[in-house]
């Protein structure tokens, strides 16, 4: 019996070893392979010209693999740790950082040019397992037209959102699945404290908050202020999005308006920092390291804002005028320390789910 099992098992292993398809990112003689794979969440974007520049500098072509929402993309890598789907993972943020580090997902590497990165975002500076790439502020956005038509002042703070005047107007993302959703939840935790936030969400729920799974769905399908939402005749004038969303609306409008159609409720913001790291067991480590260096280079950092609508982390990286004209500068974003997030995140998400979704 045991012998039979072993034989069957070995048979399958041999079968697998023989039957594996050739994979172009590995080569049997260990020669330098010509492509490097970046595993990222669905919101990753970069200009082709910039990726070409990387190829010219290093000889590697970049393959981008989008692996789902931020949390799910990270979990997939954790579940298949040691046999990763790519070389570099981009898009683990401060809310998920501890999970990635505790699971030993990344090979330490100090990127060239890290000294140019702002000190306040270098959260793993003693071990360099991850490299900070960008920051963004998660805030409630409002549809300016709706509020002018209704002669109603748009909300500015967390407390405003629970007022009867704003009943049934807000759409948020699922905190269990989407990083802006979680960021907004953490913002409320920071604002109302460990004991107060649940009461706040009960009020939000009573005020008709809508929950959807992803940012794309919330912003482009349910929010009336976005171009996509207008096309879909969306009905909610308040959405959890980013401080950089209004410039985006201007950029994609044709012709470009003088003023952004949406505004930011500056008292509802949570600061998010996104990191990248070299995956443990990467097939192309050298290429992965070169890619990490590139992610904190000025070229990439200045290309990022108009592709992913995030803020650069490198000193001296210029913001496009679109951002300086239409973006909101958030002076006092809410933050929660990564350790505290690590200790409580699951519990918070669980009680949030029970409170709001189920």
Partner 1 sequence: MAVPVAFFAVFFAYPVTAIVGRGLKADGSWHWGRFGEVLSRPDIGQVLWFTTWQAALSTALTLLIALPGAYVFARFEFPGKQLLRAVVTVPFVLPTVVVGTAFLALLGRGGLLDELWGVRADTTVWAILLAHVFFNYAVVVRTVGGLWAQLDPRQEEAARVLGAGRFAAWWRVTLPALGPAVAAAALMVFLFTFTSFGIVQILGGPAYSTLEVEIYRQTAQLLDLPTAAVLTMVQFAAVGGILALHAWTVRRRETALKLVDPAQTVRRPRGAAQWALLVGVLGTVLLLILLPLGVLIERSLDGPGGYGFDYYRALRSVEASGGTFLVPPLEAVWNSLRYALAATVIALVVGGLAAAALTRRAGRLARGFDALLMLPLGISAVTVGFGFLITLDKPPLDLRASWILVPLAQALVGVPFVVRVMLPVLRAVDGRLREAAAVLGASPSRVWREVDLPMVRRAVLVAAGFAFAVSLGEFGATVFIARPDRPTLPVAVARLLGRPGDLNYGQAMALSTVLMVVCAVSLLVLERIRTDRSGEF
- Give 323 or 352: the residue with its C-beta nearer to partner 1: 352
- Give 71 or 155: the residue with its C-beta nearer to partner 1: 71
Q: Which stretch binds partner 1 (CB under 8 A): 174-182, 186-194, 284-292, 304-312?
A: 174-182
**Residue 80 interacts with partner 1 (CB under 8 A): yes or no:** yes
Q: Give the footprint of partner 1 on residues 286-345 (CB under 8 A).
A: none
For CA atoms 291, 296, 341, 308, give the dihedral sign: negative
- If binding means CB under 8 A, how many residues of this protein chain bind partner 1? 56
Give min distance, CB of 11 to partner 1, in A: 9
How far is residue 103's CA from residue 354's CA, in Å, rounded to a whole number?
A: 27
Strands (E), the chain: 35-40, 61-66, 88-93, 106-107, 131-143, 170-173, 210-212, 238-242, 262-279, 311-312
How far is residue 235's CA from residue 146's CA, in Å, rounded to a whole number?
A: 10
47-51 long-range CB contacts below 8 Å, 24 or more apart? 47/303, 47/307, 50/299, 50/300, 50/303
**Residue 119 interacts with partner 1 (CB under 8 A): yes or no:** no
**Residue 353 interacts with partner 1 (CB under 8 A): yes or no:** yes
- Give 160 or 285: the residue with its C-beta nearer to partner 1: 285
Q: Give the footprint of partner 1 on residues 88-107 (CB under 8 A).
A: 99
**Residue 83 interacts with partner 1 (CB under 8 A): yes or no:** yes
How far is residue 185's CA from residue 190's CA, in Å, rounded to a whole number?
A: 9
**Residue 79 interacts with partner 1 (CB under 8 A): yes or no:** yes
**Residue 285 interacts with partner 1 (CB under 8 A): yes or no:** no
Q: Which stretch binds partner 1 (CB under 8 A): 35-43, 132-140, 253-261, 263-271?
A: 35-43
Instruction: Provide the pairing of β-strand 88-93 with 210-212.
Output: unpaired
**Residue 16 interacts with partner 1 (CB under 8 A): yes or no:** yes
Give min distance, CB of 155 to partner 1, in A: 24
How far is residue 260's CA from residue 252's CA, in Å, rounded to a whole number?
A: 11
How far is residue 314's CA from residue 128's CA, in Å, rounded to a whole number?
A: 16
Name which position in 15, 165, 206, 253 contacts partner 1 (CB under 8 A): 15
**Residue 44 interacts with partner 1 (CB under 8 A): yes or no:** yes
**Residue 49 interacts with partner 1 (CB under 8 A): yes or no:** no
How far is residue 287's CA from residue 61's CA, in Å, rounded to a whole number?
A: 9
Give the residue from 45, 7, 132, 125 showing the smallest Cα distance to 306: 45
φ/ψ (deg, to 5) at 217: -65, -45
Give the residue from 316, 326, 289 showing the smallest Cα distance to 128: 289
Q: Give the footprint of partner 1 on residues 189-248 (CB under 8 A).
A: 211-214, 216-217, 220-221, 228, 232
Name which position in 51, 54, 67, 209 contacts partner 1 (CB under 8 A): 67
Which pair of structure tokens corresponds to residue 252?
């994609």
- Give 3 or 31: the residue with its C-beta nearer to partner 1: 3
Q: Which stretch binds partner 1 (CB under 8 A): 16-24, 149-157, 241-249, 308-316?
A: 16-24
DSSP string, 74-95: HHHHHHTTTS-SSSEEEEEETT
Residues that bind partner 1 (CB under 8 A): 1, 4-5, 7-10, 12-13, 15-17, 19-21, 37, 40, 42, 44, 63-68, 71-72, 75-76, 78-80, 82-83, 85, 99, 174, 176-177, 211-214, 216-217, 220-221, 228, 232, 346, 349-350, 353-354, 357-358
């Amino acid at each position: 019996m045991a012998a039979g099992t072993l034989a069957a098992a070995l048979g399958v292993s041999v079968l697998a070893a023989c039957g594996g398809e050739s994979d172009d990112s590995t080569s049997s003689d260990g020669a330098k392979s010509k492509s490097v794979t970046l595993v990222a969440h669905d919101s990753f974007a970069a200009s082709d010209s910039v990726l070409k520049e990387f190829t010219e500098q290093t000889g590697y072509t970049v393959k981008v693999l989008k692996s789902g929402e931020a949390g799910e993309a990270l979990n997939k890598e954790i579940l298949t740790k040691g046999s990763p789907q790519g070389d570099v993972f981009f898009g683990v943020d401060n809310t998920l950082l501890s999970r990635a580090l505790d699971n030993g997902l990344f090979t330490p590497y100090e990127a060239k040019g890290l000294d140019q990165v702002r000190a306040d975002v270098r959260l793993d500076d003693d071990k360099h397992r991850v490299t900070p790439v960008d920051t963004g502020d998660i805030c409630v956005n409002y549809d300016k037209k709706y509020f002018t038509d209704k002669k109603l002042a748009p909300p500015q703070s967390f407390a405003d959102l629970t007022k009867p005047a704003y009943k049934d107007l807000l759409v948020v993302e699922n905190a269990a699945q989407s990083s802006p959703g979680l960021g907004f939840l953490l913002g409320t935790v920071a604002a109302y404290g460990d004991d107060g936030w649940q009461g706040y969400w009960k009020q939000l729920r009573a005020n008709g908050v809508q929950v959807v799974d992803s940012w794309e769905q919330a912003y482009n399908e349910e929010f009336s202020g976005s171009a996509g939402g207008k096309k879909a005749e969306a009905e909610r004038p308040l959405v959890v999005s980013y401080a950089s969303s209004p410039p985006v609306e201007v950029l994609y409008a044709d012709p470009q308006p003088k003023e952004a159609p949406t505004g930011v409720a500056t008292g509802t913001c949570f600061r998010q920092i996104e990191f990248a790291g070299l995956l443990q067991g990467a097939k192309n480590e050298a290429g992965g390291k070169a890619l990490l260096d590139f992610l904190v280079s000025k070229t990439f950092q200045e290309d990022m804002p108009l592709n992913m609508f995030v803020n650069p982390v490198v000193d001296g990286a210029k913001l496009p005028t679109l951002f300086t004209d239409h973006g909101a500068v958030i002076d006092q974003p809410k933050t929660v320390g990564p350790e505290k997030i690590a200790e409580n995140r699951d519990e918070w998400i669980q009680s949030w789910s029970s409170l709001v979704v189920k």
